[in-house]
Amino acid sequence: MTDEKTIKIHPVTRLEGHGELTVKMTKDGKVKDVQFNVSSTRFFEKFLEGRFAEEAPRVAPRICGICPVPHHLASVKAVEDAWKVTPPPAAIKLRRLAINAKQYSSHALHFFALAAPDFVVGPFADPAKRNVATIIKELPDVGKLALQVMKFGQDLVTAVGGKAIHPVTATPGGMLNPFSEEKRDIFLERVKEAKDWTLQTVDLAKKVVTDYWDPITKLAIAPTYYVGLHDKGNLEIYEGKLRVMNPEGEIVEDFTPRSYKKYMGEYVSDHSYATHIYYKPVGYPEGIWRANSLARCNVVDKMATPLADEALQEMRDKLGRVIHATFAYHWARIIELVQAIEEIEMLLEDPEIVSTDVKLSDVEPRKGQGVGCVEAPRGTLIHNYWTDDDGLITKVNMLVATNHNIAGIEKSLMVAAKQVFEEKAHEGLKLPDPMIE
């Protein structure tokens, strides 16, 4: 052991969650092992047991403060599936509005606050400067754009869900609060501006793609399987079927979320509290897949909205389909940002969005088992609950978004670590001058 070297990054920064990175090197400078150590967990699957099932949608958002809407909705859908309840159409539209608003603010947060510092301030910049606070200070226009985009999404989640962080209004059978005409009118007005900001964000992203073409196409290219939701081939985040694409780019599965156990396995590694979800029929590690924006953009035929679809076709023209370039996740995120704002606009224009018929009044708890599946910003999210005759939860199984990506992250980190430590590939990369000196 003494002749080996271990590089430890503790903690991994600019991400939501608790992670460390361990790179183990042999004495002759070869990368032996790369670990993404997720160092905390809270056991929601256990402490939801014994609760009233209708309260689970209040508890579950606490799994993630950045993406509480998908947890709120996957949870309520799981209860509705177990109790055989179908909410009114207007309630489903309100939920779609909320999840798209969250997708919008989360993708903006990820792009501007978590990822952009690497591209705007530069990957080799002083850590003291490589953050969104610097961007806000040094590039006030970009900073303001970022804050406005995020604010729009969060405000809209609040308007539908009551709270932006840990929303509360979805309940088995519908929504506890209708969307008022007054609120609808405010957001119909605001969405015009938001659409404009979105297009400005697209321009900024395109500049980043052009500037960083070399690392995007050369660094951390990691072939894996991909998983994501679709509706008749369109990219979808609230309700649909799940597709699996193999590393060669062929769709190998297309299944309803209810049968997820046949296709999804959890590998428990010895060095992470987050399990590695993988494509079960192929096994682990062969069946390692990734979820999140790029995975969704890989598995779908097209985007659900026109401007987003143009953007997807542009990415496919340049990088093809299936895309394994890890940095293209950021690009895909921006394509989804466009779909989110277009979906939001369409939903706001739909007269049914202000319907007061948003909740059933005769929902009966019952014994059953239900699956709720949505796409969280970081990937496919599944809640599976078992309830007894009184509607109390007796068992829970959950597959959360990030866990679909842990093994894929390790795989792409292994590629990158070899490139950096063994081949010094990063030294030869063509990089632009940072936008901030």
135-164: contacts with other proteins (CB under 8 A): 136-137, 143-144, 147-148, 150-151, 154, 161-164
Minimum CB distance to other proteins smaller for 277 or for 354: 277
Q: Whole-angstrom Cα distance, residue 79 to residue 336?
A: 28
Query: Interacting stretch for other proteins, rule CB under 8 A, among 5-13, 186-194, 202-210, 251-259?
Result: 5-13
Please report, as residue ranges, which positions from 340 to 399 form the binding site for other proteins (by CB under 8 A): 359, 361, 363, 365, 384, 390-392, 397, 399
Tell me the number of residues near other proteins by CB under 8 A.
Answer: 88
Please report, as residue ranges, which positions from 162 to 181 form the binding site for other proteins (by CB under 8 A): 162-166, 168-169, 171-173, 176-177
Please report, as residue ranges, which positions from 92 to 121 form the binding site for other proteins (by CB under 8 A): 109, 113
Task: Work out which of 210, 271, 320, 430 binds other proteins, going by CB under 8 A.
Answer: 271
Give, for 414, the enclosing helix (H) or strand (E). Answer: helix 406-417
Structure tokens belonging to residue 175 = 């929504």
Minimum CB distance to other proteins smaller for 42 or for 232: 42
190 binds other proteins (CB under 8 A): no
Looking up tokens 């609040």 gives 158
Q: Whole-angstrom Cα distance, residue 55 to residue 50?
A: 11
Task: Work out which of 130, 230, 290, 333 binds other proteins, going by CB under 8 A.
Answer: 130
In eight-state DSSP terms, residue 4 is -
Minimum CB distance to other proteins smaller for 12 or for 251: 12
Q: Whole-angstrom Cα distance, residue 50 to residue 286?
A: 37
201 binds other proteins (CB under 8 A): no
Looking up tokens 């277009």 gives 342
Minimum CB distance to other proteins smaller for 109 or for 237: 109
Residue 226 and residue 289 in contact, taking contact as beta carbons nearer than 8 Å: yes
Minimum distance between the CB of residue 335 and other proteins, rounded to whole angstroms? 23
Angle at 261 between CA 257 and CA 262, to 5 degrees: 100
318 binds other proteins (CB under 8 A): no
Among 118, 139, 143, residue whose Cα is nearest residue 130: 118
Minimum CB distance to other proteins smaller for 165 or for 346: 165
Minimum distance between the CB of residue 13 and other proteins, rounded to whole angstroms? 5
Query: Interacting stretch for other proteins, rule CB under 8 A, among 4-12, 192-200, 313-321, 322-330?
Result: 4-12
Structure tokens belonging to residue 184 = 């609808």
Among 318, 84, 349, 107, residue whose Cα is nearest residue 213: 318
Minimum distance between the CB of residue 256 and other proteins, rounded to whole angstroms? 16
Q: Whole-angstrom Cα distance, residue 163 to residue 120?
A: 32
Torsion of CA 114, 107, 146, 195, to 10 degrees: 160
- Terminal Cα distance for the chain, rounded: 42
Please report, as residue ranges, which positions from 229 to 268 form the binding site for other proteins (by CB under 8 A): 260-261, 264-266, 268
Minimum CB distance to other proteins smaller for 137 or for 430: 137
Minimum distance between the CB of residue 154 and other proteins, rounded to whole angstroms? 5
- What's the one-letter identity of residue 255? F
Minimum distance between the CB of residue 123 and other proteins, rounded to whole angstroms? 11
Minimum distance between the CB of residue 344 and other proteins, rounded to whole angstroms? 18
Query: Interacting stretch for other proteins, rule CB under 8 A, among 133-141, 201-209, 345-353, 417-425?
Result: 133-141
Looking up tokens 């008022």 gives 180
Query: Interacting stretch for other proteins, rule CB under 8 A, among 31-39, 219-227, 329-337, 410-418?
Result: 31-39
Q: Whole-angstrom Cα distance, residue 159 to residue 168?
A: 11
Minimum distance between the CB of residue 358 and other proteins, rounded to whole angstroms? 10
In three-state secondary structure terms, 432 is coil
423 binds other proteins (CB under 8 A): no
Among 173, 21, 157, residue whose Cα is nearest residue 98: 157
Please report, as residue ranges, which positions from 272 to 291 form the binding site for other proteins (by CB under 8 A): 272-273, 275, 277
Q: Whole-angstrom Cα distance, residue 160 to residue 174?
A: 12
Burial category of 226 from C-beta neighbours within 10 Å (exposed 0-12, middle 13-18, buried 19 and up): buried
Please report, as residue ranges, which positions from 49 to 68 form the binding site for other proteins (by CB under 8 A): 50-52, 54-55, 58-59, 62-66, 68
| Backbone φ and ψ of 392, nearest 5° | -95, 145
